[in-house]
Homo-oligomer: A and B are copies of this chain.
Amino acid sequence: MSPGKKGKILIVEDEKKIADITRVYLERDGFGVAHAEDGETAIKLLKDKFDLIILDLMLPDIQGEDLCTMIRKDSEVPIIVLTAKSAEEERVKGLGLGADDYVVKPFSPRELVARVNAHLRRTKKASFSLSFNGGDLKIDVQKHEVRKKGEPLTLTPTEFKILLTLSERPEAVMTRYQLVNLVLGYDFEGYERTIDAHVKNLRQKIEDNSREPAFIKTVYGLGYKFIGRGDED
């Protein structure tokens, strides 16, 4: 493993080509990278300390979810989960398995590196959660939970991901095109306005009045943006 000035990262991924490309990107960005092709190897390697773990949920010998909870039991290391856009994602939600972030496959390697950097930057914060407007809206990624004025909401995986994507960059307009890529995956070939339907459903859950949305605003001709004052965590 190369030295890694910026930190040590463990990739747990059985698809060699994905692991390789990810490694190349991370190393180019100054990270040290170790790679495990299966859960067993990962557990061995985990005797060393890592600064962040990238974990594919689909592994040959062990359920990624189990590995995730296992890691989380022993440490607070940030975990970014890779999921194929399918039923996997639902399990992320169902189990609330304590990952700090998740990225939909196929992903842009640059996107992944950006997220790795983002997580390490806020490494001091115990967990990756967002809170807006004096606690009116709270998003806890590890628990995969959203609360509005304390009340837990039930969001579908796609709704959650849209909300997360928008709220990570308050005020910034995201086009439907961008949202499709980030939320549904770069290989999504469907109808772009599917996003509208999800936004509608999302608004009905998080907004007081979905006709006059306070959080997710429409930007005519462009897309959507999230409005909210981030709170201290």
Which A positions have Cβ atoms within 8 angstroms of B? 17, 20-21, 24-25, 88, 91-92, 95-96, 100-102, 106, 108-111, 114-115, 117-119, 121-122, 127, 142-145, 156-157, 169, 171-173, 177-178, 181, 186-187, 189, 219-222, 225
Contacts and interface: CB of A to CB of B under 8 A. Distances in A.
A21 B95 contact: yes
Contacts of A173: 142-144
Give 7 closest A-B pairs by Cβ, nearest first.
A157-B221, A108-B118, A24-B95, A143-B171, A114-B186, A144-B173, A20-B92
Given A101-B109, A111-B187, A225 B24 contact: no
Of A119, A178, A186, most buried by chain B (CB within 10 Å of CB) is A186
Given A21-B92, A111-B186, A142-B169, 18 more contacts: A17-B91, A17-B92, A21-B91, A100-B110, A106-B111, A108-B115, A108-B122, A110-B118, A110-B119, A110-B189, A111-B122, A114-B181, A114-B186, A118-B181, A121-B178, A142-B171, A143-B172, A157-B220
A117 B222 contact: no
Copy number in this complex? 2
Given A110-B122, A118-B186, A143 B91 contact: no
A186 B24 CA distance: 19
